[in-house]
Amino acid sequence: MEALSLPINTLTNSSAKQHIYLSASSNYASLSSSLQLNPSLPTRPLTLRKSAVRVQAENEDFELKQMRDMAAARKRWEALIRDGKIKVLTPREAGYAVQLSNKPLLDVRPSNEHKKAWVRASTWIPIFDVDNKLDFGTIPRKVTSFVMGGWWSGMPTLSYDSQFLAKVEEKFPKDAELIVVCQKGLRSLAACELLYNAGYKNLFWVQGGYEAAEEEDLIVEGPMPLKFAGIGGVSEFLGKLKR
């Protein structure tokens, strides 16, 4: 599961939390045991145990905040759809609108997904993109993302692009009928909320994203099938072996 920085966070689950806790505890415990065999390092194990407790507490606090933020975001998004402020399209309906009515399709996926497959004539402006920074603030998030399945799915750590709205406003006027899409539908909902609050009132959200699309729904370009563009890492490698 990808890890997103502010303003929208992904939802974690209890099994992932337990996995992180067990992995961190076992690693620190084994390291502490080996250090205790060395009499010249009497205080090191205690320091490591304190560090492990602090890291565990910080991870749990971060996960709880993510859960609260995500629950609040879902309520806002449901209200926007329920009140008709954001209209819902299936991928096939979106394809008809793009091909027959020439409505603009705004692809908000990160670069690692977009480069694998995209819809012809769509506009790509990612709301979150791959975070390649390696500083004190990003390393813990990258480690957490890896432990929570990044090793399998290949999902990188993503960061919110603070210039997203400015980039959209450069391309589209506020009265444009924008069809907003991502790979699974979650990030495009976040984008719709930002766009609506910025004054865009003719928004259409593609429910289920590209993963819900069939081959005939949209005119696709790129080296991979559109619905598989969100797959990476070990799972992508195994999928290629099967093909």
pLDDT at 57: 64
Is residue 154 within 8 A of residue 184, CB to CB? The reply is no
Q: Which of 11, 10, 4, 12 is nearest to 160 (CA)?
A: 4
Is residue 114 within 8 A of residue 124, CB to CB? The reply is yes
pLDDT at 200: 97
Considering the candidates 97, 98, 178, 182, report the single residue annotated as catalytic: 182
CATH code for position 96: 3.40.250.10
What Rg, from alpha-carbon coordinates, does the chain have? Answer: 21
Residue type, 127: I
- Segments of the chain scoring below 70 in pLDDT: 1-60, 62, 131-156, 232-243
pLDDT at 130: 78
Task: Judge whether 4 lies within some domain.
Answer: no
Task: Judge whether 1 lies within some domain.
Answer: no
pLDDT at 30: 39
- The residue range of the domain holding 115 is 57-232
The token pair that represents 129 in the structure block: 């993109």
**CB neighbourhood size of 122 (10 A):** 19
Q: pTM score > 0.75 for this model?
A: no
Is residue 175 within 8 A of residue 159, CB to CB? The reply is no
Whether 192 sits among the annotated catalytic residues: the reply is no
Task: Judge whether 44 lies within some domain.
Answer: no
pLDDT at 50: 61
In the chain, the number of structural domains is 1
Q: What CA–CA distance (Å, rounded) separates 109 from 240?
A: 22
Q: Bridge-partner residues for 160, per DSSP?
A: 128
Task: Judge whether 36 lies within some domain.
Answer: no
The token pair that represents 178 in the structure block: 């924008």
pLDDT at 29: 41
